[in-house]
Amino acid sequence: MSGKENLEQKIFTRWIETLFETQEHEIDCKQFQNYLPAFVEAEVTGERLGYTAVLTAHLHQCPDCEEIYQGLLFVVKADLAENWSSDTAADTAVPIGD
Amino acid sequence: MVKRSNEAWLDALQGAGQSQQEALLDLRDYLVRTAFVYLRDGRSDLLLLSTDTLYEMAEDYAQNALLAIQDNLDKFRGDAQFTTWAYRFAINEAATDLRRRQHRDFSWEDVAGQETAVFASLLDPGTGGDPDVKAEREEFLQLLWQILENDLNERQRLALLGVYFQGRSMQEMAEILETTPNTLYKMLHDARKKIKASLLNQHYSAGDILGLFDAMW
């Protein structure tokens, strides 16, 4: 199978999966963004929120919100690991500006 | 950087004077770090950019995020750390700008071409295989074409092809259609519901459909 066919297979497979994952009622991007910070914190702590399924359904359908979710999850984990509010962490990751 | 409770952040930022200025400076530091760490370590597409360039970008995103946060303080729900809520603005600024930089020229012909390529690859004319299965595939694809043509309006069809077949972002496709990503999401949701209902009405499940094409792949 060529790379092009492989890409077309992926596009088709993902599209069919996406279609059948469609829920009668889904939250929109604005609603998703409102719940996102708590959702990401719950993800980090392993907590399951009452509305996790609704948010996950939106994530599977929206590439832009998925990107924001992944980015926020990444920096929240980095914050936890490096403890950004501590003095010792202040100069380790960010170059001195100006 | 100073650690504050959610209430302390809000009090300081909504207040005035020196405590507000200190909070703004601290928040800006958090946001620059957020944007910088995201750009440097969280984005594989920026590996070729220098640290200085990434830092300059991070400062710009942080500044824009800071303004947006000040405009939206009354919308903080208090169900997460204030800093997590604030980081979201920095990530949004960065991701939105980076998406915009990746926008491609758009033409109907490109979208139609991509759609044709995907569907043509599913017809599999070059290989052998069970003729009955091939006939079933053709029957399914014909149904799918009919659904796309008859059940969706032109904007829905365009949105669906742009996002799912061409991999464009919601933001990019929303700008092409001169709408907002939020409205585009609702438009796509409506389109997905219609296609799903039509397929279920014809007794197709996702497993049935993917199973039809499994042997080709």
In a domain, A73, yes or no: yes
Q: What does the pLDDT read at residue B216?
A: 75
In a domain, B121, yes or no: yes
In a domain, B201, yes or no: yes
C-beta neighbour count of A70 within 10 angstroms: 15
- A38: which chain B residues are within 8 Å (Cβ-Cβ)? 77, 79-80
Query: Angle at Cα B3 formed by Cα B60 and Cα A47, nearest 5°?
Result: 95
For residues B57 and A5, the model is more confident at B57
Q: Place A95 in a pLDDT band, splitting at 50, 70 and 90.
A: low
In a domain, A6, yes or no: no
> How many distinct structural domains can be found in chain A?
1
Task: Give residue B209's domain range.
Answer: 108-214
Enter the DSSP assignment of B121.
Answer: H
Q: Of B15, B138, B149, B151, give the one whose Cα is nearest residue B73.
A: B15
- A30: which chain B residues are within 8 Å (Cβ-Cβ)? 182
> A70 and B42: CB-CB below 8 Å?
yes
Say yes or no: B205 and B152 in one domain. yes
Which spans in chain B are helix H? Answer: 6-14, 17-41, 51-72, 82-101, 108-123, 131-151, 154-160, 170-176, 181-201, 206-214
In a domain, B1, yes or no: no
User: Considering only alpha carbons, which residue of chain B is nearest residue A7?
Assistant: B118
- Residues in chain B with pLDDT < 70? 124-128, 217
Largest CA distance in chain B: 79
Measure CB to CB from residue A63 to each of B55, B165, B169 and give the nearest one. B169
Tell me the Cα Rg of chain B: 24
Tell me the Cα Rg of chain A: 18
Can you give the CATH number for the domain in which B168 is found?
Answer: 1.10.10.10
Say yes or no: B19 and B68 in one domain. yes
Say yes or no: B34 and B114 in one domain. no
C-beta neighbour count of B116 within 10 angstroms: 11
In a domain, A70, yes or no: yes
Q: What does the pLDDT read at residue B14?
A: 96
Can you give the CATH number for the domain in which B22 is found?
Answer: 1.10.1740.10
What's the pTM value of the predicted model, to 2 decimals?
0.86
Place of tokens 């149904």: B143
* Contact (CB, 8 A) for B115 and B157: no
Say yes or no: B31 and B95 in one domain. yes
User: How far, in Å, CA of B213 to CA of B155, rounded?
Assistant: 28
Say yes or no: B165 and B81 in one domain. no
In a domain, B79, yes or no: yes
Say yes or no: B196 and B128 in one domain. yes
Task: Give residue A65's domain range.
Answer: 26-85
- Asked if the model's pLDDT at residue A92 lies above 60, the reply is no
Measure CB to CB from residue B32 to each of A17, A76, A94 and give the nearest one. A94
Task: Look at A1-10, A50-59, B55-64, B185-194 and tell me which has the smallest mean pLDDT.
Answer: A1-10
Show Cβ contacts of residue B204 under 8 Å, excluding neighbours closer than 6 positions: B140, B143
Structural domain ending residue among the three candidates B86, B101, B116: B101
CA distances from B31 to A88, B13, B62 (A): 18, 15, 5
B204 has a chain A CB within 8 A of its CB:
no
> How many distinct structural domains can be found in chain B?
2
- Asked if the model's pLDDT at residue A26 lies above 70, the reply is yes
**ipTM of the complex model:** 0.87
Say yes or no: B145 and B200 in one domain. yes
User: How far, in Å, CA of A59 to CA of A66, rounded?
Assistant: 5
- A12: which chain B residues are within 8 Å (Cβ-Cβ)? 118, 121-122, 213
Say yes or no: B115 and B169 in one domain. yes
Measure CB to CB from residue A5 to each of B3, B121, B164 and give the nearest one. B121
Task: Please name the residues between 68 and 97 in chain A that touch chain B, using a CB distance below 8 Å.
Answer: 68, 70-72, 74-76, 78-79, 84-86, 90, 93-95, 97
- Asked if the model's pLDDT at residue A18 lies above 90, the reply is yes
